[in-house]
Amino acid sequence: MSTLLSVRNLTMRFGGLTAIDDLSLEVPAGKITGIIGPNGAGKTTLFNCLTGFYKPTTGTLRLAHPKRGEMRLESLPSHRVARDAQVVRTFQNIRLFPKMTVLENLIVAQHNVLQRASKFSIAGLFSLPGYRQAEREAVARAATWLERLQLTRFADHAAGDLPYGTQRRIEIARALCVDPVLLCLDEPAAGLNPRESAELNELLLYLCREQGVAILLIEHDMSVVMNVSDHICVINYGRKIAEGAPEAVKNDPAVIKAYLGEDEEEGVMEDYTEERAS
Ligand SMILES: Nc1ncnc2c1ncn2[C@@H]1O[C@H](COP(=O)(O)OP(=O)(O)OP(=O)(O)O)[C@@H](O)[C@H]1O
């Protein structure tokens, strides 16, 4: 499988604090790559560097865009990372527009396409045919993803009135509306109950296996990350301490030590995984 994203020697400093420390990793196309690590390890900072929220102190982020060729994410502003590189993220905290309907949330996400079609207001203002066509396509794209994610029945509900697990699913549907080349999910299982976590597993596997979406997944819930990831990269204090298949990573002494401290026995990570899964 070809490399989609290549992170090389990434460092991000905030004053005297080094949140990411010379990190290198490869993200393959069409696979799920898990990023795990204890609190404060630098996981979200990595996403912030990838998506243009932070400009890395040093290092390169090369995206092999299937249509545009190589793109250097570290030099793009955040709106261009989403619009041109099609690297899209969700956040730890749900950021839907709670009073808008689910369908409206998914249409707003396509504002780049609609704005272009509106010729920056004039065509939109007069509802010219090109703009109406773009609007129809935006609604159709939203309806497709709502159906694929089994959310159609909620299309006209206010997003903020829906259960937490459903809102998380809507956030993912919204991100999918911009046809991501790489979908970055920041703790999508946070706040979900075990049934919702199991449904999330199915959804992530469906997106990857059936829709070919490459996913970069930050997750603390081991019942999700260990079950769906093809490859896991473990970071601690901004440095990569292990990587590999889930089975290898969860038995890695450096990972067990990072999560549970010096004195724990091997295999506790496995117990932890099973405990979270049950
Ligand atoms: N804008 C910022 N200014 C200063 N320090 C920051 C900033 N953003 C992150 N940090 C620090 O960088 C380190 C890594 O934080 P980050 O949020 O990336 O960790 P994380 O692995 O995502 O943690 P968690 O699992 O708790 O979400 C932390 O020490 C954090 O306080």
SS3 state at 75: helix
Q: Ligand 1: which of 13, 44, 184 to mutate, most ligand atoms within 8 Å of CB?
A: 44
E strands in 177-213: 182-186
Q: Does 73 have pLDDT greater than 60?
A: yes
Residue nearest to atom 23 of ligand 1 (CA): 40
Whether 222 lines ligand 1, by a CB cut-off of 6 Å, is: no
What's the CA-to-centroid distance between 40 and ligand 1, angstroms?
A: 5
Whether 41 lines ligand 1, by a CB cut-off of 6 Å, is: yes
Cα–Cα distance between 147 and 180 in angstroms, integer?
A: 18
Residue nearest to atom 30 of ligand 1 (CA): 40
Nearest CA-CA partner of 29 in 171, 183, 153, 150: 183
**Quick one: tokens of 196?**
């919702």
The alpha carbon of residue 169 and the mean position of all alpha carbons in its chain are separated, in whole angstroms, by 12
User: Within 93-193, where are the H helices?
Assistant: 102-108, 111-117, 122-125, 129-148, 164-176
pLDDT tens figures, 172-191: 999 999 889 999 999 999 98
Whether 236 lines ligand 1, by a CB cut-off of 6 Å, is: no
Q: Does 271 have pLDDT greater than 50?
A: no
Model ipTM?
Answer: 0.97
pLDDT for the residue numbered 117: 53
Q: Ligand 1: which of 10, 36, 45 to mutate, most ligand atoms within 8 Å of CB?
A: 45
User: Within 40-109, where are the H helices?
Assistant: 43-50, 78-83, 102-108
SS3 state at 219: coil
Give the position, in ligand 1's atom list, of the atom nearest the Cα of 46. Answer: 18
pLDDT tens figures, 232-270: 999 999 999 999 999 999 899 999 988 866 554 444 455
What's the CA-to-centroid distance between 240 and ligand 1, angstroms?
A: 15
In this prediction, residues 42-62 reach a mean pLDDT of 96
Give the position, in ligand 1's atom list, of the atom nearest the Cα of 14. Answer: 4
pLDDT for the residue numbered 275: 45
pTM of the full predicted structure?
0.87
pLDDT tens figures, 133-187: 777 888 899 999 999 999 999 999 999 999 988 999 999 999 999 889 999 999 9
